[in-house]
Amino acid sequence: MSQTRPPRLVSINAGQAKDLEVGVRTARTGHFKQSLAGPVMIAQAGVPGDFIGDLKHHGGPDQAVYLYSQEDIDWWSETLQRPLAAGFFGENLTLSHWWPALRIGDRLRIGELLLEVTAPRIPCSTLAVRVGDSRFAKAFVRAERCGAYARVLTPGEVRPGDEVTVLAGDAVFPTINEVFRYCHSKGANPTFLRQLLAAPLAEKMRAEMQARLTKAEQQTSPLPGF
């Protein structure tokens, strides 16, 4: 993430509905994505034709687009010792690389499209099945190469090769990796949670973090009469 040159859009990806055996159940997923030839019009709902099977955890206006980087795909390819194509991690937009201090609230202009980063991606069982290793979610957490969700502020047309202009968010907002790390921690940090809740966080994660803050405040509040 130390590269200073502007990122570029490598690939635009969408997945059709596919049945996948996840443990003892069959899940319908759009995780298996294919690259689309540009230009592609990205709407507020995301990439056209992209199926989202688990609306509880994925999709919605605050997680309309999932971003991942080619440099992280290359890292996983070397780690897993197998070739991995753009879209393998279920991302909608594959960027060439990240920029220093990727954080909640960063905005990305790609062609006519304007995005706002809202949350890290939390690994799920579908990703583990995709990789073919039931332990992969733990490896994904350890690697801290989670990618990021974004909301669409201004719909627009994009094509592979477009330069990504990064408009940095408020430096007080937590970075994606800090949020990702905190999501997998057990401790309570009210100061961090307040900073996070002040950021333009995805609503699904906001509800979870607000609940953690409320619990932490209740645990530290003095008992009545003391």
Distant-in-sequence contacts of 27-35, Cβ < 8 A, 24+ apart? 27/53, 27/54, 27/126, 28/53, 29/53, 29/54, 29/126, 30/90, 31/90, 31/126, 31/127, 31/130, 32/130, 33/87, 33/88, 33/90, 33/91, 33/92, 34/87, 35/11, 35/85, 35/86, 35/87, 35/160
Q: What does the pLDDT read at residue 22?
A: 78
- This prediction has a pTM of 0.92
For residue 56, give its domain range.
Answer: 9-170
**From CA 119, how far away is CA 174, in angstroms rounded?**
10
Please indicate, yes or no, if residue 56 is contained in any of the structural domains. yes
**From CA 98, how far away is CA 160, in angstroms rounded?**
16
Please indicate, yes or no, if residue 78 is contained in any of the structural domains. yes
Mean pLDDT of 64-72: 98
Please indicate, yes or no, if residue 27 is contained in any of the structural domains. yes
Domain count, the chain: 1
Mean pLDDT of 50-63: 82
Please indicate, yes or no, if residue 101 is contained in any of the structural domains. yes
Please indicate, yes or no, if residue 26 is contained in any of the structural domains. yes
Tell me which residue of 163, 139, 156 sits closest to 41, measured CA to CA. Answer: 156
Please indicate, yes or no, if residue 194 is contained in any of the structural domains. no
Per-chain mean pLDDT for the chain: 92
Q: What sign results for the dihedral spanned by CA atoms 184, 185, 189, 192?
A: negative
Contacts of 137 (CB under 8 A, 6+ apart): 123, 124, 125, 127, 128
Please indicate, yes or no, if residue 178 is contained in any of the structural domains. no
CATH code assigned at 90: 2.40.33.20
Q: In this predicted model, what pLDDT tens digit does every residue of 90-146 receive, in sequence order?
A: 999 999 999 889 999 999 999 999 999 999 999 988 888 889 998 999 999 999 999
pLDDT at 223 over 70: no
Please indicate, yes or no, if residue 204 is contained in any of the structural domains. no
Share of residues in the chain with pLDDT > 90 (%):
74
